Amino acid sequence: MGIYAEFLKTAKDAAVEAGALLKTHYFQLNEIRFKGEINLVTETDLASQALLHDRLAAAYPGHDFLAEEGLQSLRGAEFRWVFDPLDGTTNFAHKLPFFCVSIGLERRGELVLGVVFNPMSGELFWAEAGQGAFLNGTRLRVSSIPDVRQSLLATGFSYDIRETRCNIAQHERVILRAQGVRRCGSAALDLCFVAAGRFDGFWELKLSPWDTAAGAVLVREAGGQITDFLNCPVNIYHPEVCASNGLIHNALLGLLNET
């Protein structure tokens, strides 16, 4: 057990509780509101965020909190919880059962903890810095595929795909060289799947801190690599993310950076 064991338990309990809320709402899907053109925000995002904030702030009132639906309680605390109350909102809104709760914890800017829960599959992923990555208690390890040509990769496309620099050219380059490329719709789960060796790599151009915080700890603790496109260690406040089993990292970055 690591020094963050108590934080980990609080985060796991909160993720499972918020996941149960998502699942209940999923089966009684009702009002859907629109944020931007195709970014669906449901009452569920807000309810899950409120629940997570309640639980985490009750346990750690002196900590900072940053979450997708406008939560920014930032007072310069040593610890900052960075969470996405529902990652995979479009899937959720279309009743595709692939979404999650994602909770990361930073200590003085260093990621120390990640918890991701998919309530539809019951898969609870977690990792603590220096203590390994786990799925429902089983230790995770990234894949050992050494070559992009044999790799199953994943990516995502941001909501403003029609407006600014997007992933279409990179996607085309990579899909022609890899064994396959998936777009599952939840960046946090994509990262956990890299940690679990289900995907050999993942990239995306415009992620937010709450998409990446938890999954980055999972990838690292499972022996993988996670950087920006220039191969600098991941910074969750920077939008570009490339994660892999480490063995294909340089080759994947090379493909992403080809012009």
Which residues bind to ligand IPD, rule: CB under 6 A?
68, 84, 87-90, 156-158, 185-187, 204, 207, 211
- Are 182 and 199 spatial neighbours (Cβ–Cβ below 8 Å)? yes
Q: Which of Ca ion, ligand IPD, none does residue 156 bind (CB under 5 to 8 Å by kind)?
A: ligand IPD
State in angstroms the smallest separation of the CB of 88 from Ca ion.
7
C-alpha 115/C-alpha 1 separation (Å) is 15
Residues numbered 192 to 221 that lie near Ca ion (CB under 5 A) are: 211
Beta-carbon-side half-sphere exposure of residue 126 (alpha carbons within 13 Å)? 23
**Cα 48 from chain centroid (whole Å):** 16
Q: What is the chain's percent helix, strand, coil content, to nearest 5?
A: 35, 30, 40
* d(C-alpha 114, C-alpha 128), whole Å: 7
Give the gyration radius of the chain's Cα atoms. 17
For ligand IPD, give the closer residue by CB, 156 or 224. 156
252 interacts with, out of Ca ion, ligand IPD, none, CB within 5 to 8 A per kind: none
117 in Cβ contact with 124 (< 8 Å): yes
Query: Nearest 5 degrees, angle CA 10-CA 16-CA 20?
Result: 145
Report the nearest approach of ligand IPD to the CB of residue 94 (Å): 11
CB-count burial class (<10 Å; 0-12, 13-18, 19+) for 9: middle
**87 belongs to the binding site for Ca ion (CB under 5 A):** yes
The entry of ligand IPD, Ca ion, none near residue 111 (CB within 5 to 8 angstroms by kind) is none
Which residue is closest to ligand IPD by CB?
156
Cβ closest to ligand IPD, residue 200 vs residue 204? 204
Instruction: Report the residue count for the chain.
Output: 259
Shortest Å distance, C-beta 87 to ligand IPD:
4
Question: For Ca ion, which is the closer residue by CB, 157 or 173?
Answer: 157
Minimal distance, residue 90 CB to Ca ion, in Å: 10
- Residue 105's binding partner among ligand IPD, Ca ion, none (Cβ under 5 to 8 angstroms by kind) is none
CB of 88 to ligand IPD, least distance (A): 5
Identify what 186 binds: Ca ion, ligand IPD, none; CB under 5 to 8 Å per kind: ligand IPD
Specify which residues 182 forms β-bridges with: 154
Residue nearest Ca ion, CB atom distance: 87
Contact 241, 234 (CB under 8 A): yes
Stretch that binds Ca ion, among 24-32, 64-72, 152-160, 170-178 (CB under 5 A): 64-72
Residues in contact with Ca ion by the rule CB under 5 A? 68, 84, 86-87, 211
